[in-house]
Chain A
Amino acid sequence: MLTRQLASRFCKDRESMRRCLGYLRKKDFVASAEGVHQITDKGRQFLAEGRTITSGPCGGNTTSRRAPTLRQRAWRVMRMRDGFSVEDLLGTLCDDNEGDPGRNLRRYITALEAAGYLSPFRRRSEGGGTRWFLRREMNTGPEAPALNTRAKRLTDHNTGKKFALGDQPLEASHVR
């Protein structure tokens, strides 16, 4: 299989898939030639014994142990909650104000709303901020839709769908 196919099969970006394959190659579980990868007999035997790799860059199976980003963690909270505001996300996820996480989250939310993932509630939160909810049919899976701010493109690795976000500024404030 190709790196790209594996990446999409495991809902990973290609870079982390490449790192993971490199690790499996070192262990002789996978052989690769010209970007095509195949499981080895040793790898097959390892699987047949029902064993799992418990350390290394790929973690237990193919889940990368790299710390998830703020947006990834925010996506996870969106999936857990019936509704949330930017303040809720900050109060749950951020230990400091380093790098203006509020701005980062507002951009992400604006993009998710534009792509149809989020809808706003009519009523505001106690602190006065807008609250959103993740629409049921848009709870597409564990991978956070990836926002490329410069290209104004949102890519959902769960479904493979891409959204062009048009011309509206992604920092548009949510004063309604």
Chain B
Amino acid sequence: MRRMFVKTENYMKFTDGIQKIESRGAKEAGMMLVCGAPGYGKTTIVERWASDEGALHLRANVDWTPRYFLTELAKVLFAEENEIPRGTSSQLFEIMFERLKGGDIPLVIDEAEFTLHKKAATLEKIRDFSDRAEMTVVLIGMQNIVREVAKHGQINGRIGHVVEFGPATASDIAQTCDQLCEVRLSPDLKAEVHRLSGGRMRQALNIIASIEQVAEASGLEEVDVPDLDGMPLSFDWQTRTPSTVRAGRRGR
């Protein structure tokens, strides 16, 4: 299997959202929320953008506090200096605020549910940066993060845009097959990859790898649904059953 980035509809939605946020006026909300089920490609797509832009990028974890967040941010922000600034939380905030003022450098927080502990104290700090330094902040979380953030009115008012990732579409998966798979797949089989993957990119990639193995073993250059009939190509962890390719679904 080749490895490449696929510009899916979620990617387009994300870049549209970023454009909205970045073209906002000075007093408008500068935080963006990215949410969606596991495996829809949130981390990959936002990392792609962050690496293009040189954004600061942190992954929150279960024991994050405002202080922990400030220390982690200082480590990446002052990495090239011999000494990372120390001090009280408010001193750290002021030093970093000076550096970030103007909003040239965006900030990404992955696994942002972990900023919601203790009345969202950590997220309040993040909001402070976004507001006062006028910087773009992208928060990534699962579907219910929207509801969780909404409980904190102050913060919620500063969310300028929400991008909800959906499952990959049939055309996303067809494009993924074209870009990544080293054997040709029939249109029906691409549709079958879409069905079996449940629109999860992670699953789709695993299925494509399995199809390649089958193709190699049987010397096929193009693979169609009947070639794989009844073969388990993905595994449903919820029902603990393998999902198999189904032939005879033509003309859908």
Q: What residues make up the interface of A, taking CB atoms closer than 8 Å to B?
A: 11, 52, 59-61, 63, 68, 73-74, 76-77, 79-82, 86-87, 90-97, 102, 127, 139-143, 158-159
Determine if A140 and B3 form an interchain contact, defined as CB atoms under 8 angstroms apart.
no
State in angstroms the CA–CA spacing of A82 and B59 once bound together. 9
Query: Given contacts A59-B104, A91-B5, could you give 15 more A-B pairs where the C-beta distance is less than 8 Å?
Result: A68-B54, A76-B50, A80-B59, A82-B59, A91-B4, A92-B47, A92-B48, A92-B51, A93-B48, A94-B3, A102-B3, A139-B75, A140-B79, A142-B79, A159-B80
The answer on a CB contact under 8 Å between B80 and A143 is yes
Within 8 A of A (CB), among B37-65: 44, 47-48, 50-52, 54, 57, 59
What are 28 residue pairs bridging A and B, where the CB atoms are less than 8 Å apart in the complex?
A11-B80, A59-B104, A63-B54, A73-B52, A77-B47, A77-B51, A79-B76, A79-B79, A80-B50, A80-B57, A81-B47, A90-B4, A90-B5, A91-B44, A92-B5, A92-B51, A93-B5, A93-B51, A94-B4, A97-B4, A139-B75, A139-B79, A141-B80, A142-B54, A142-B79, A143-B80, A158-B79, A158-B80
Selected from B5, B51, B59, B79, the residue in CB contact (under 8 A) with A141 is B79
Q: Closest CB-CB distance, A154 to chain B, in whole Å?
A: 16
A76 to B108, CA, bound (A): 13
Judge whether A87 and B3 touch: CB under 8 Å.
yes
**Distance in angstroms between the alpha carbons of A60 and B134 in the assembled complex:** 14
- Set of chain A residues within 8 Å of B209, measured between Cβ atoms: 127
Distance of A136 Cα from B181 Cα, bound (Å): 36
- What residues make up the interface of B, taking CB atoms closer than 8 Å to A? 1-5, 7, 44, 47-48, 50-52, 54, 57, 59, 75-76, 79-80, 102, 104, 209
| Shortest distance between the CB of A101 and any CB in chain B (Å) | 9
Q: How long is the Cα–Cα vector from A59 to B105 in the complex, in angstroms?
A: 12
- List of A residues within 8 angstroms of B75 by Cβ: 139
Q: How far is the CA of A140 from the CA of B104 in the complex (A)?
A: 20
Chain B proximity of A84: nearest CB distance (Å): 10
List chain A residues, Cβ under 8 A from B47: 77, 80-81, 92
CA distance A93 to B45 in the complex (A): 10
Assembly CA distance A63 to B52 (angstroms): 13
Candidate in A92, A95, A158, A159 with the most chain B CB atoms within 10 angstroms:
A92
- Nearest CB on A from B49, distance (A): 10
In the complex, residue of chain B having the shortest beta-carbon distance to the beta carbon of A75:
B51
Selected contact of B102 from candidates A60, A76, A158, CB within 8 Å: A60
Q: Is the CB of A80 within 8 A of B51?
A: yes
A59 to B3 CA separation, bound complex (whole angstroms): 33
Closest to A84 in B: B47
From known contacts A52-B102, A68-B52, A73-B51, infer whether A96 and B80 are also in contact, taking CB-CB under 8 Å. Answer: no
